[in-house]
Structure 1
Amino acid sequence: MSQAVPTVLSVDPARALVDETFRVAVQNLPPGSPVTLHSLHRSEDEDFWEAFGHYVSDSGGTVSLAEDLSFGGTYTGKEAMGLLWSMRPVPGSREGLRLRKRNVCSPQLVNISVHSGHVEEGFGERVPLASTLAERWYLGPGVRRVEIREKGVRGTLFIPPGPGPFPGLMDMWGGGGGLIEYRSALLASHGYAALALEYFGADELESANVEFNYFETAFNIVSEHPQVIPDRVGIFGLSLGAIVTQYLASESSVIKPRCCVCVSGIHLYPRDESLRTFYQMMISNAHKVQVDKHNREIWRGMMLPLPEDRSQKLDLGKINCPVLLVNGLDDQNWPTVECAEDVAHMMRAAGKEHLLTRVEYPGTGHLIEPPYSPHFRATMFKKIHTQEKAILLWGGQTKPHSDAQEDSWNRILAFLQQHLFSSQNPRAKM
């Protein structure tokens, strides 16, 4: 492409939180020129992720991702954030990758470039017309990161900037184990003192022996912190973390969460003092695991049909705080939608339906992350109950799953704003 003046590529803002939108624009192209916008990220695991879209410049020689259509690539249509949410491992990468931020004190760096023509591959061998770097942060300016190692509890507390006190959250991820900080850092960037709780190590089987008083102790560490409003502490859990959240909300006599957010969770768990029984249930139901034509494991059948015996599941009719359930209709890991319907029945029978909010998304899988995160339909997973590795099928299709991540995050933030910042809080009729 011959040009009299250099092509200009801009990203605004070039530095932003990961849940903020940006505007990508190209100027000084010849009118009607086919070009490809490409994004490239090198993960902390040294893997490369990319996305790209095909565009044609307008009569003024410009392309705007927010206003123009992509005619092909990893996404199509008018998608301002397509260069992020449609990212996938570059061809030839290892199987089953998942992109996760480990060091929240540094940004995700995304190189964005524009290339002549509609390119499908070989971006590394091509000289771009222009390129620029975008910084995507989970940790907002002024947020403090404080390691927690007290009373046997392990985690990281993120405290928003300012004098406080702030509403608090105990934040738990799922069965992959380890200390996952990035969602808590982002929540703190929105004004919540958020504890990223580690409740078992990534390479340990000790999770089976974690007793629920561990979580009660962790909750109290948050509520008793001098920069936390003690009666405005909620719980946020995904997958296994959502099971723990529902257990604490329904069974604990020690803590009283102000509200709970449960993403992709189930309530199939005998009321017990540790997670041991849950893992024994999974092992006994392992014969129900299915595999698809790519030999990826599908777990949702392990918990089906839902037991009629109430002793085999948590009694969510005992919950006395607002609860938000977020689920995908294509969850292939757990029967989350069936469980949500059962939870609604329990709460309705207990006269507590007013405390329940449900959102469900078509084409959406198990791993519902903060917005603009890539969609992971299947990834490598180390099964904590057997220590074996397998490719798990989580479900979802890229575009609807990504839309669900954006919409659900906005709903979650609105729910937390309503119940943790507001002086009014619905409780069950006692």
Structure 2
Amino acid sequence: MSRLSQDVSRPSIHVSNVRSVEGRDVFLADDLLEIRIRGLAPSCAFSLKCRLEDDKKRAFASEIEYEADETGAWTSTKDFSHRPMESFELCRPAEGQRQGTRLSQSDVMQPQKAFLSVCIDGRSVASTVCERYYHDDANVWREPFRNADGLVGTLFLQRNSTPQNQGRSPSGTSATPADKQAVARSRSNLLILDMFGTGGGLVEYKASLLAARLGCDAVHIGLFNVPGTQLPSVWQDIDLLYLKRFLQAMRLRFPDPEKRFVLHGMSMGGQLGIAAASLFPDLVDGLVSVNGSPFLFDPFRLDGHPLPHYALQTENAEFGTIGEGPDASNFIITERMFKGVDLDIATRKRRDTWPMAPVSSIRCPTLIVASKDDKNWPSLEFAKQVRRITSADPETSINFLELQNAGHLMEPRHGPVCTVVYHGVLKMLLQQGGENLVGAAADFELAYEATLAFCRNIATSAQRARKGAKARL
């Protein structure tokens, strides 16, 4: 291993593609950063340590070996033998964290701290700190949403929308008089309605980030387990009529006839998105389902009436072990619970015996993302059934993206891969897949880019329709 010699300049680390705010380097969570290290000995072997801390002080860490070039320099975007953001993507729960800890963000107005350190022979020779945000307060308002019908969510509106959030921003700036006088009509012709999975509560970071990245409006829909609200305490009590009322409320809030309403959800959120687009096709202009399911495995209701569903047999589940000795923990492989479930619609002659959403009723452009490596449930098999039902229907526009390594919990690009997660509602560890961490990180990026492109296409089609209408006038 080459070592620093005394005639080599002091090592330094610099991060590009960040914004300087009051002396702090800040960036959006899906930004591609360029990490530049200089002042090392020629061809010096070193490690780059990364430590991420969310707003609850949950910590993730990585340490990856690299080699400087012949000038003693290294640049993350020019080392083609590695992914440029892998120091973030390959972070794992840091020492002392509970098994199954997942990097998340409870308060999107607060940053995650990113600590980067260059080490040689275990000794830090250069370091820097950045702040990682899911919210762009310079351009997006965050506004809690409640109404008399019991609807619960959080709006993320472009700053030319109604500015009711007058709190201080993450960058330390406050709303200006000009902000407060902004018109109540958004320039954005796209509203993304984001739904999370079986964890419940308000998990806003994806809606916030999509609003920032796409320059659109977004709303995270609260589904259950939100204290102080009338929402059910468990996901099994969700009534799909709630989603219809939410869509109707958003159309009243944004009356522009050219505005497009796109449902976006992962896991159970994708499952509910498929159901809503099937049952209420006139209210949905687009759908993105990530590892969702058209099949119903819980006793959801529709206007109080229970819907047919598959009752899973938990005894079919299998268990594995993570860790060793006294730190070992069991996790459940929930995918095995689907062993005895007949997912092949060809074996069912009567359509009313299918405990699944009527996907042939979907009329909006749809993107279904499914991972072969999903160990939570067989999302790829679910996607194949949707394709089988809808492929012969010329009125459907459903695109499928099949991934190999992503596992179940797909994060926005450059987010850490989570292979086992502690489920706070079920109080157990669940296997997710994604053990090929580099492959999973690449798939995260593919899925995220596909989602962005899909949403941009819908927004562009709305703009073309508006221009066409004006031309006809």
TM-score class normalised by the smaller sequence: 0.7 to 0.9
- Indicate the percent of aligned positions where both proteins have the same amino acid: 25
Alignment of 1:147-158 (within 5 A): 147-150=144-147, 151-158=149-156
When structure 1 is superposed on structure 2, of 3-12 and 269-278 the one drifting more is: 269-278
- 2:377 corresponds in structure 1 to 334
User: How far did residue 293 of structure 1 move?
Assistant: 4.6
Separation of aligned partners in 2, 1:103 and 1:131: 26
Separation of aligned partners in 2, 1:183 and 1:341: 26
**Residue 453 of structure 2, aligned match among 400, 407, 414:** 414
User: How far did residue 101 of structure 1 move?
Assistant: 1.0
Separation of aligned partners in 2, 1:202 and 1:291: 30
Give the secondary-structure state (helix, strand or coil) at the position aligned to 1:224: helix
Mapped pair 1:301 → 2:336:
yes
Which segments of 5 or more consecutive residues in structure 2 lack a partner in the other structure?
19-25, 162-185, 323-329, 466-473
User: How far did residue 213 of structure 1 move?
Assistant: 1.8
Contact 1:222 1:228 (8 Å CA) reproduced:
no
Give the secondary-structure state (helix, strand or coil) at the position aligned to 1:292: strand
Contact 2:309 2:356 (8 Å CA) reproduced:
no
Mapped pair 1:245 → 2:264:
no
Contact 2:197 2:267 (8 Å CA) reproduced:
yes
Contact 1:142 1:160 (8 Å CA) reproduced:
yes
- 2:110 corresponds in structure 1 to 106
Q: Which amino acid counterpart does residue 404 of structure 1 have in structure 2?
A: D
Q: Which amino acid counterpart does residue 143 of structure 2 have in structure 1?
A: V
- 1:56 corresponds in structure 2 to 67
Separation of aligned partners in 1, 2:258 and 2:251: 4
Contact 1:210 1:275 (8 Å CA) reproduced:
no
User: How far did residue 162 of structure 1 move?
Assistant: 3.5
Separation of aligned partners in 2, 1:278 and 1:368: 28
- 2:174 corresponds in structure 1 to none
Aligned length: 403
Contact 1:263 1:326 (8 Å CA) reproduced:
yes
Separation of aligned partners in 1, 2:376 and 2:85: 27
1:149-176 Cα distance to aligned partner (Å, 9 max, x none):
1121111000123362321111101111
Separation of aligned partners in 1, 2:54 and 2:259: 39
- 1:380 corresponds in structure 2 to 422
Separation of aligned partners in 2, 1:370 and 1:279: 33
Mapped pair 1:325 → 2:368:
yes
**Residue 133 of structure 2, aligned match among 132, 137, 140:** 137
Separation of aligned partners in 1, 2:361 and 2:440: 32
**Residue 217 of structure 2, aligned match among 184, 190, 193:** 193
When structure 1 is superposed on structure 2, of 406-415 and 108-117 the one drifting more is: 108-117
Alignment of 1:26-425 (within 5 A): 26-68=37-79, 77-117=81-121, 119=122, 126=123, 128-140=124-136, 141-150=138-147, 151-162=149-160, 164-166=186-188, 167-189=190-212, 190-201=214-225, 205-226=233-254, 231-252=259-280, 255-269=282-296, 272-273=301-302, 281-282=310-311, 284-294=312-322, 295-303=330-338, 304-306=341-343, 308=345, 309=348, 310=351, 311-353=354-396, 355-383=397-425, 388-396=426-434, 397-423=436-462
User: How far did residue 104 of structure 1 move?
Assistant: 0.9
Separation of aligned partners in 1, 2:41 and 2:307: 62
User: How far did residue 222 of structure 1 move?
Assistant: 2.2
Separation of aligned partners in 2, 1:275 and 1:50: 46
When structure 1 is superposed on structure 2, of 359-368 and 41-50 the one drifting more is: 41-50
- 1:428 corresponds in structure 2 to none
Separation of aligned partners in 1, 2:35 and 2:153: 37
Separation of aligned partners in 1, 2:248 and 2:445: 31
1:78-102 Cα distance to aligned partner (Å, 9 max, x none):
2210111001112342111100011
Contact 1:328 1:362 (8 Å CA) reproduced:
yes
Separation of aligned partners in 1, 2:34 and 2:152: 39
User: How far did residue 205 of structure 1 move?
Assistant: 3.5
Give the secondary-structure state (helix, strand or coil) at the position aligned to 2:283: coil
| 1:222–1:228 CA distance, 2 compared to 1 (3 A) | farther
| 1:280–1:320 CA distance, 2 compared to 1 (3 A) | closer
1:351-391 Cα distance to aligned partner (Å, 9 max, x none):
345x01000111221111100110011111145xxxx4111
Mapped pair 1:7 → 2:7:
no
Q: Which amino acid counterpart does residue 34 of structure 1 have in structure 2?
A: A
Separation of aligned partners in 2, 1:412 and 1:183: 12
1:292-333 Cα distance to aligned partner (Å, 9 max, x none):
354321222334331534431112111111110011111011
Give the secondary-structure state (helix, strand or coil) at the position aligned to 1:184: helix
Separation of aligned partners in 1, 2:109 and 2:418: 24
Contact 2:55 2:111 (8 Å CA) reproduced:
no
| 1:421–1:223 CA distance, 2 compared to 1 (3 A) | farther
| 1:342–1:86 CA distance, 2 compared to 1 (3 A) | same
User: How far did residue 231 of structure 1 move?
Assistant: 4.2
Alpha-carbon RMSD? 2.4
Give the secondary-structure state (helix, strand or coil) at the position aligned to 1:50: strand
Q: Which amino acid counterpart does residue 133 of structure 1 have in structure 2?
A: V
1:212-268 Cα distance to aligned partner (Å, 9 max, x none):
221112122222224866641111111111111111111126x42111000001111
